[in-house]
C-alpha cells in the first residue's frame, strides 16, 4: 500500500452533510417521552452506491433484516437512510418487521424513490414495538427540515444515552487538484463491543466509488476502528455502519487512488469510534490498549480485547490503581500464545513488569499518570512480533447506575 499520509488533509469541521449532494434532518417524532430529537433522515440528491456492515448477534433486529434485504434488492443503490432512537424495534416479531418495512416505504414515498432504496436503523430499548404512526407523522417534518446544514441535528436525533453527539469529516486529495469529502455521524454509549454493537454509524462521501471498492474500503476501515473499540463487551441486536457514495464531486476512486481514499475513510471512522468510547456510559477516561509480541495478529487482537473488556482492569484504571498483575492475568488467560518470562506491562511509558520481574518502584509514577483522562496501557505477550490496538474506557459506578435504571 502506498504511503497515504501526505494525501490526507487534516480533519475538517463537519459531519454527515459535509460531502456535496447530501442533506439531513433531525426532528422530534414523539418516540422519546421527553420530546427530544428522535428521528433522523439522510438523503442523497442522486442515487448513491451503498455498502454496510451489520451486527453479528443472532438476535437480529428488524431494521437490520430490512436493510440487508433492501441492499440486496437494489443492488447497493440507496437514496435515503431513516434512523429512529428511543426504540430498537428488536425482538418484536412479524409486527416489527412490518414496521421497519413501513418506515422505509413512507420515506421512499416522500423522497421519490423505490422502497428498496431506503435503509433503516433503530436504537433504544429492546422488545418495544416501533410506534409507526409517530414515524409517519414525523417523516414529513424531517423532509421539510432537510438541509446541508442540518447534520448536527441528525447527529443529535440518533442519540440514546450518549452524553454528546459524534460527528467527523475530512477532505482527501486524490491527486492533480482533485479532492473528495468524507463525513459521518455515529451513536453509541453502552452495549458496545462492535462486531458490531448497539452502535450506529453513517458515513457519506461525494466520491464516485465502484461497489467492490466501496465494500472493501468500509470493511477495512471498520476493522481498525469500530471493531477495535469496546465499552462493556456487550454485542447488541441493532448495530450497523452504512457508507453512501454519490459521486457528486465528479472524482472517481480507482485502484490507484484507493489507498488515499481508505485512509481518509479510516480517519473519519476512527474519530467517530473514539467519540463513542469517550462517551461510554459512565466513562471518565479513554484508554488505549496496545498489545505487542503476539504470535499472530489475531492473537494480539484477542488479547487486547480481553484486556479492554476486563472489569478488574477497567475498575483499576478508574480508581487510578497501577495494578499490573491484573493486566498480566488477563493476558495469560486470553487463550493466545503467551510467554511469562518474556512478557512486559507498561502504563504510559512506565515499565511495571518485564522479563518475569516486577518493577514496583515505578508504581507511584504510574499512579500519577493514571490521574489523566487519555491513557495508554501496554502488554507484550512475549510470543512473537504481531500487534493490535483497541480502545476502551474505565468502568465506574455511574455505568452501573445508568444500566440499572435504563428501563425504569
pLDDT in tens, 46-78: 999 999 999 887 888 999 999 999 999 999 999
Using pLDDT thresholds of 50, 70 and 90, give the confidence band for residue 232. Answer: low
For residue 403, is pLDDT > 70?
no
Among residues 189, 193, 281, 187, which one has the least CA distance to residue 235? 193
Of the chain, the percentage scoring pLDDT greater than 90 comes to: 79
- Rounded mean pLDDT, 155-168: 92
Q: What is the mean pLDDT of residues 97-110?
A: 98
Is 154 in contact with 16 (CB distance < 8 Å)?
yes
Helix pair angle (324-332, 297-309), 10° resolution: 130
pLDDT band, residue 189 (cuts 50/70/90)? low
Q: For residues 141-168, give the mean pLDDT.
A: 95
State the pLDDT confidence band at 5, using cuts at 50, 70 and 90. very low
Structural Rg of the chain based on CA atoms: 22
| C-alpha cell at position 96 | 416489527
Give me the percent of the chain exceeding a pLDDT of 70.
91
Across the range 359-385, mean pLDDT stands at 96
More confident residue, 198 or 372: 372
Answer yes or no: are the C-beta atoms of 40 and 63 closer than 8 Å: no
For the segment 203-227, the average pLDDT, to the nearest whole number, is 96
Q: Which residue has the higher pLDDT, 208 or 9?
A: 208
**Nearest CA-CA partner of 402 in 280, 230, 272:** 280
Domains and CATH numbers, the chain: 5-278 (3.60.70.12), 286-404 (3.10.20.340)
Task: Report residue 403 as a C-alpha cell.
Answer: 444500566
| pLDDT of residue 236 exceeding 70 | no
Helices (H) and strands (E) in the chain, counts: 11, 15
Quote the CA–CA distance of 381 and 295 in Å, as a whole number.
Answer: 8
pTM: 0.87
pLDDT over 90 (residue 148): yes
Least trusted range by pLDDT, from 63-67, 126-130, 299-303, 329-333? 126-130
Q: What average pLDDT does the chain have?
A: 91
DSSP track, 335-355: SS---GGG-EEEETTEEEEET
* DSSP-derived 3-state class of residue 61: coil
- Please report the pLDDT score of residue 1 as a whole number: 35
Q: Which residues are catalytic?
A: 198
Query: Tell me, what's the pLDDT at 279?
Result: 74
Strand 286-294, strand 374-380: pairing? parallel
User: How does residue 162 score in pLDDT terms, banded at 50, 70 and 90?
Assistant: confident
Summarised one tens digit per residue, pLDDT across range 7-43 is 445 678 899 999 999 999 999 999 998 889 999 999 9
In this predicted structure, the answer to whether residue 176 has a pLDDT above a threshold of 90 is no
**Predicted local confidence at residue 308, as pLDDT:** 93
Q: What is the DSSP string of 265-306?
A: HHHHHHHHHHHHHHTSTT---EEEEEEEEESSHHHHHHHHHH
pLDDT score for 202? 98
Mean pLDDT of 107-127: 95
Amino acid at each position: 500500500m502506498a504511503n497515504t499520509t501526505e494525501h490526507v488533509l487534516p480533519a475538517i469541521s463537519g459531519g454527515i452533510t459535509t460531502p456535496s449532494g447530501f442533506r439531513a434532518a433531525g426532528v422530534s417524532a414523539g418516540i422519546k417521552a421527553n420530546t427530544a430529537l428522535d428521528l433522523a433522515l439522510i438523503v442523497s440528491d442522486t442515487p448513491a452506491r451503498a455498502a454496510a456492515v451489520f451486527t453479528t448477534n443472532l438476535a437480529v433486529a428488524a431494521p437490520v433484516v430490512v436493510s440487508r434485504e433492501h441492499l440486496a434488492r437494489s443492488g447497493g443503490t440507496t437514496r435515503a437512510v431513516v434512523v429512529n432512537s428511543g426504540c430498537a424495534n428488536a425482538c418484536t416479531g412479524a409486527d416489527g418487521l412490518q414496521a421497519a418495512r413501513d418506515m422505509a416505504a413512507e420515506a421512499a414515498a416522500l423522497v421519490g424513490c423505490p422502497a428498496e432504496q431506503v435503509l433503516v436503523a433503530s436504537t433504544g430499548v429492546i422488545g418495544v414495538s416501533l410506534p409507526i404512526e409517530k414515524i409517519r407523522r414525523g417523516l414529513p417534518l424531517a423532509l421539510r427540515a432537510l438541509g446541508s446544514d442540518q447534520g448536527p441535528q441528525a447527529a443529535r436525533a440518533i442519540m440514546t444515552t450518549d452524553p454528546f453527539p459524534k460527528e467527523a469529516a475530512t477532505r482527501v486529495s486524490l491527486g492533480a487538484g482533485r479532492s473528495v469529502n468524507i463525513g459521518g455521524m455515529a451513536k453509541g454509549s453502552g452495549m458496545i463491543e462492535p462486531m458490531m454493537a448497539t452502535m450506529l454509524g453513517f458515513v457519506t462521501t461525494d466520491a464516485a466509488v465502484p461497489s467492490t471498492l466501496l465494500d472493501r474500503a468500509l470493511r477495512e476501515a471498520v476493522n481498525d476502528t469500530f471493531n477495535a473499540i469496546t465499552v462493556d463487551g456487550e454485542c447488541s441486536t441493532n448495530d450497523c455502519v452504512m457508507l453512501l457514495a454519490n459521486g457528486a464531486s465528479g472524482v472517481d476512486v480507482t485502484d490507484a487512488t484507493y489507498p488515499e481514499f481508505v485512509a481518509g475513510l479510516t480517519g473519519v471512522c476512527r474519530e467517530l469510534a473514539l467519540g463513542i468510547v469517550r462517551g461510554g456510559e459512565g466513562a471518565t477516561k479513554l484508554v488505549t490498549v496496545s498489545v505487542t509480541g503476539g504470535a499472530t495478529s489475531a492473537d494480539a487482537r484477542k488479547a487486547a480485547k480481553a484486556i479492554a473488556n476486563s472489569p478488574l482492569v477497567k475498575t483499576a484504571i478508574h480508581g487510578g490503581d497501577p495494578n499490573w498483575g491484573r493486566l498480566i492475568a488477563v493476558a495469560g488467560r486470553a487463550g493466545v500464545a503467551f510467554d511469562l518470562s518474556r512478557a512486559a506491562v507498561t502504563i504510559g511509558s512506565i515499565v511495571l513488569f518485564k522479563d518475569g520481574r516486577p518493577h514496583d518502584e515505578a508504581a507511584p509514577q504510574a499512579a500519577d499518570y493514571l490521574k489523566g483522562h487519555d491513557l495508554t496501557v501496554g502488554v507484550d505477550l512475549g510470543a512473537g512480533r504481531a500487534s493490535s490496538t483497541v480502545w476502551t474506557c474505565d468502568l465506574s459506578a455511574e455505568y452501573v447506575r445508568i444500566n440499572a435504571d435504563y428501563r425504569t
